[in-house]
Amino acid sequence: MCGIIGYVGEENAVPIIIDGLKKLEYRGYDSAGIAVFGEGGFFDVVKQKGRLPALEARLADAPIEGNMAIGHTRWATHGEPSDINSHPHVGSENKIAVVHNGIIENYKEIKERLEQRGISFVSQTDSEVIAQLAEYYLQKYSGDDLTDTVIRVASVLEGSFALAVMSASEPDTLVAIRKDNPLIIGASGHGMFIASDVPAVLRHTNRVYYLGEKEIAVLKKDSVQFFGMDKAPLKKKLETVSWSLDSAEKGGYEHFMLKEIMEQPAILRETIRSASGSNKDILDSLDIARFDKIVITACGSAYNAGVVARYVFERLCRISVEVELASEFRYKDAIVDEKTLVILISQSGETADTIAAMREAKSKGAFTLAIVNVVGSTVSKEADVCLFTAAGPEIAVATTKAFSAQLVVIYMLTVRFAAQLGQISEEAELFAEIASLPDKAAEILAHTDAIAKYASVCVGCKSIFFIGRNIDYAIALEGSLKLKEISYIHSEAYAGGELKHGTISLIEDNTLVVALASCERLYGKIMSNVEQVVSRGAKVLLIGSCVGGDFARDGEPDDATAPDKGVTPDGKIAVIGLPKIHELFSPSLSAIVLQLFSYYVAANRGLDIDKPRNLAKSVTVE
Ligand code: G6P
């Protein structure tokens, strides 16, 4: 959600900024722009509604260059997507240029005050007030430098912001500040960077500073200084990021999403390994016996991972677990205290609602444990303890590998807790089952053709239903979300037993129902649901380790999965069998099939899979 990149250095900033913006596309955007400090001593600004090629075309027609620039991908909140509402914004005198990620909640008051002083605004955005206010302060307090100005402006702003600011009177200085939105500072051999996220700078450096709340960074081409809001200097650690540039590139795949799906065996292996490596100390230090309740809170797919976690925790640990959407948790006056373990799950560690939920839980005395992918992110830093998933940078908006890594961390944590509580005696066997996941995932990924073939006949579906029971229901939620995110096909997930209370009225001839069947105890129950929908005309895709037609091992994908050659004589049911696994860990295998299914449906519809309309990867505003 909005991407920021800034550069000051020895090279022409324009191609560097454009490349950085491409790396930030995954965050979701509807327009983009760049401001360069040009030779005339003022800012050249080019901004354009639409995707980056439209901006590049404008730059090709009228090239600009300079050694200092800021760029932005905008995801509209205040004001429609348009050229004028795109960032960077400049003050009326073209003396200040700003890019902003976040929402300025008191922008109307600031705007009115500035308008009363004769300043006119050109856009409908909240962000323009930052540029206009900075320019106003620069004139009013003539002894100030850009850092003083940014501090003055930041003290007035309410809401959330990550800012990169340039001033025409300091052509060698870039200033950044953040509150409730991420920013990193990259240090390379040829210049300094500001960025929303590490992938934007990986081509130039893997050495970064993580900017903290209300910390200010002042960048020159070969130095960076940090200050607090009182302008007192801060010492910060330069950290080395382990992510490689390759991990943020497509590597020959048509889409990042497919690449990330394919990476899963390696990522599962690495995440399992981290339980005896980087995550070990934390796992060893946690004492589950001090808690009488677990509350899991997250958004999107991370919430669905939380629903899986509830089934696993409750079954293995016999401890009560609640799962709440972070956007609900934060406002419900949650009943949590010192005896509650609040688990936050987040790929980015920057989701605004998850951050707010974490702060709310902490303010009530709860102990917070985060499961996060991005090192240095707000959730990872503010939670009491953090277990990292080893998914590497995830670029496709729809999460796949990070979700799978979250599940594995949850399994490891649960088995550890269950053993601590004396609830299980088979700790080693369960760990061995978890350790078998990477190979079983690879087995599925070796047979994508069968899933692709089935998906190709689902392109025209208007609506697809996902059903499951118990842990299969949890993963049905993720299957449904994945499909709607990238294919724009309406879908709903239902607990199988709930069908008869409503959804069954929507089943008609050839409605597709995806039924999950990895839960052995409830196999008979889900098959009854399958019969109920088939007898009302539905076609069913049955996925699970309890069903026959195991294409992954039998190597008979065509017969097993062709929709008109299903396992039932009338071709109503097609089957995708999965390798056998302990049912509590089966979501990891079902998830991969569901991800591939959604991917191929969307690919057959010719959609922009990595950047689905209206969605952002990291939702940093409420
Ligand atoms: C967005 C993404 C989802 C993600 C959700 C939560 O909606 O598109 O893939 O699950 O945010 O993000 P988080 O970074 O907190 O896991």
DSSP, residue by residue, 314-328 = HHHH---EEEEEHHH
- Residue 317 annotated to the active site: no
Which residue owns the Cα nearest ligand 1 atom 4?
300
Spacing, Cα 297 to ligand 1 middle (Å): 12
Taking the CA of residue 399 as reference, the ligand 1 atom at the shortest distance is 9
Residue of 47, 179, 539, 617 with catalytic role: 617
Spacing, Cα 617 to ligand 1 middle (Å): 6
Q: Which helix (H) or strand (E) holds 48?
A: strand 43-49
Find out whether 309 and 343 touch, Cβ atoms under 8 Å: yes
CA distances 316 to 245, 295, 310, 344, 422, Å, are: 40, 16, 10, 20, 10
Taking the CA of residue 485 as reference, the ligand 1 atom at the shortest distance is 8
Which residue owns the Cα nearest ligand 1 atom 15?
346
Find out whether 85 and 110 touch, Cβ atoms under 8 Å: no
Strands of the sheet containing 463-468, edge to edge, are 490-495, 463-468, 512-516, 539-544, 573-577
Q: What is the DSSP string of 439-504?
A: HHHHHHHTTHHHHHHHHHT-TT-SEEEEEESTHHHHHHHHHHHHHHHHH--EEEEEEGGGGGGTGG
| Alpha carbons 323 and 608: distance in angstroms, whole number | 32
**Which residues line ligand 1 at a C-beta cut-off of 6 Å?**
299-302, 346-348, 351, 354, 397-399, 615, 617-619
pTM equals 0.83
| Alpha carbons 36 and 72: distance in angstroms, whole number | 12
Spacing, Cα 402 to ligand 1 middle (Å): 10
Spacing, Cα 371 to ligand 1 middle (Å): 13
Residue in 500, 492, 501, 495 with CA at minimum distance from that of residue 465: 492
Spacing, Cα 408 to ligand 1 middle (Å): 17
Token reading at 381: 């830093």
Taking the CA of residue 616 as reference, the ligand 1 atom at the shortest distance is 8
ω into 88 cis (within 30 of 0): yes
| Alpha carbons 470 and 308: distance in angstroms, whole number | 9
Taking the CA of residue 402 as reference, the ligand 1 atom at the shortest distance is 16
Among 374, 618, 621, name the best residue to mutate to test ligand 1's pocket (greatest count of ligand atoms within 8 A of Cβ).
618
Q: Which helix (H) or strand (E) holds 35?
A: strand 31-37
Torsional class of 49: left (φ above 0), alpha (ψ -120 to 50), beta (otherwise): beta
Residue in 556, 502, 504, 551 with CA at minimum distance from that of residue 529: 504
Number of residues that this document lists for the chain: 622
- Which residues neighbour 286 within 8 Å (Cβ) at sequence distance 6 or greater? 369, 385, 413, 416, 417
DSSP code of 355?
H
CA atoms within 13 A on the CB side of 340: 22
Token reading at 525: 């129950």
| Alpha carbons 360 and 452: distance in angstroms, whole number | 44
Among 181, 297, 301, name the best residue to mutate to test ligand 1's pocket (greatest count of ligand atoms within 8 A of Cβ).
301
Spacing, Cα 350 to ligand 1 middle (Å): 9
Answer positive or negative: Cα dihedral of 362, 364, 367, 369. negative
- Split the chain (622 residues) into runs of 10 and give each run's mean pLDDT: 93 96 87 90 92 95 94 90 94 95 94 96 95 96 94 96 96 95 95 95 95 96 97 95 80 92 95 86 89 96 98 95 96 95 97 96 98 93 95 93 98 95 95 96 91 88 94 97 96 92 86 93 92 91 78 36 42 89 96 97 94 86 80
pLDDT for position 557: 34
pLDDT for position 548: 62
Spacing, Cα 251 to ligand 1 middle (Å): 23
Which residue owns the Cα nearest ligand 1 atom 3?
300
CA dihedral 111, 116, 120, 123 (to 10 degrees): 20
Q: Which stretches does DSSP call E strand in 54-181?
A: 68-74, 89-90, 96-104, 159-167, 174-179
Which residue owns the Cα nearest ligand 1 atom 1?
617
Taking the CA of residue 351 as reference, the ligand 1 atom at the shortest distance is 15
Taking the CA of residue 28 as reference, the ligand 1 atom at the shortest distance is 8
Spacing, Cα 114 to ligand 1 middle (Å): 37
Residue in 385, 445, 254, 414 with CA at minimum distance from that of residue 321: 414
- Residue 617 annotated to the active site: yes
Other C-beta atoms within 10 Å of 108: how many?
12
Which residue owns the Cα nearest ligand 1 atom 5?
300
Among 619, 620, 621, 622, name the best residue to mutate to test ligand 1's pocket (greatest count of ligand atoms within 8 A of Cβ).
619
Find out whether 530 and 544 touch, Cβ atoms under 8 Å: no
Find out whether 217 and 187 touch, Cβ atoms under 8 Å: no
